Amino acid sequence: MSFRKILFCSFVMGFASIPLVSGAMLKNGSFEEQGQESDRAEHWSRWGDWINRECSWAPTRDGACLTGYHHWQIEGKGNSGIWQDVVGVEAGAQVTFSVYANADRAEAGAQDFESVELRIETTIHGEQSVVASRRWPADAIATGSDWSRLFITTTIPKNPVRVVVIVTPGQGEKPRGGALKLDQAELAVHSSEDRYPSPHAGQ
Ligand SMILES: [Ca+2]
């Protein structure tokens, strides 16, 4: 292996193993802290139906509470989601937004939720603009006691920063079933030494 290849592999492995300098940019990323109501998480906003803070669902990835999407109770075709506005991320910073996900599959004859999407947004000319986005279908999400770490990495062009999780229900005619659990969300800023040369997304 040439020196250049060794250097490249070291860079990639370093990026994969210890790429981050701060993972605490989000408030209440584990959804442990209650908001104004017991089914709302402090510091998080939400829209749509049946996406609630839950403290009796199992398993959790961290602590006692998580955000649960009750797909079996969704009646319409519109999506649901949560978001948080983040302060303290400088323009030009490379960041990774991540969340752990676990799915309960729909029973036979019912359909799963369609997808879960992570977004990083900013405000340009007074309008919300998507900086990075990636979507995972329901069958890509771990089940049982396993968790999938979903993440996107990008460079922030300007402040402010908003992180968003969007869940889209099944769009077919079958009854809806199953559920999605989200826990331990993080927004981490990469050190300048670890910055990737271009926007990058992965699972
Ligand atoms: Ca939690």
CATH number assigned to the domain comprising residue 171: 2.60.120.260
Which domain does 56 fall in, by range?
A: 20-202
Residue 3 lies in a domain: no
Q: What is the pTM of this model?
A: 0.85
Q: What is the pLDDT of residue 194?
A: 57
Give 7's pLDDT tier (boundaries 50, 70, 90). Answer: very low
Quick check: is 15 in a domain?
Answer: no
Token code pair at residue 181: 């659990």
Alpha-carbon span 23 to 162, nearest angstrom = 15
For residue 66, pLDDT over 50 is answered with: yes
* d(CA 9, ligand 1 centre) in Å: 34
- C-beta separation of 20 from 190 below 8 A: yes
How many domains does the chain contain in total? 1
Instruction: With residue 15 as reference, give the H or E element that holds it.
Output: helix 3-17
**Residue 197, pLDDT above cutoff 60:** no
User: With bands split at pLDDT 50, 70 and 90, how would you rate the model's confidence at 159?
Assistant: confident
Tokens of 112: 């799963």
- pLDDT tens track for 70-84: 999 999 999 999 999
Q: What is the pLDDT of residue 148?
A: 98
Distance 64 CA to ligand 1 centre (A): 5
Does 12 have pLDDT greater than 50?
A: no
Phi, psi angles (nearest 5°) of residue 49: -100, 145
Is residue 57, in this structure, part of any structural domain at all? yes
**184 alpha carbon to ligand 1 midpoint, in Å?**
6
In angstroms, the Cα distances linking 148 to 69, 76, 184 are: 16, 26, 11
Q: What is the mean pLDDT of residues 173-195?
A: 89
**Residue 191: per-residue pLDDT:** 78
CA of 59 from ligand 1 middle (Å) equals 10
pLDDT confidence of 24, banded at 50, 70, 90?
confident
Judge whether 99 lies within some domain: yes
pLDDT of residue 17: 40
Instruction: Say if 101 falls within a structural domain.
Output: yes
Residue 49 Cα, ligand 1 centroid: separation in angstroms?
A: 20
Q: How far is the CA of 41 from the centre of ligand 1 (A)?
A: 10
Residue 5 lies in a domain: no
Higher pLDDT: 8 or 53? It is 53
Q: 198 pLDDT exceeds 80?
A: no
Contacts of 104 (CB under 8 A, 6+ apart): 143, 178, 179, 180, 181
Q: Tell me, yes or no, whether 8 lies in a domain.
A: no
Within-domain flag for 6: no
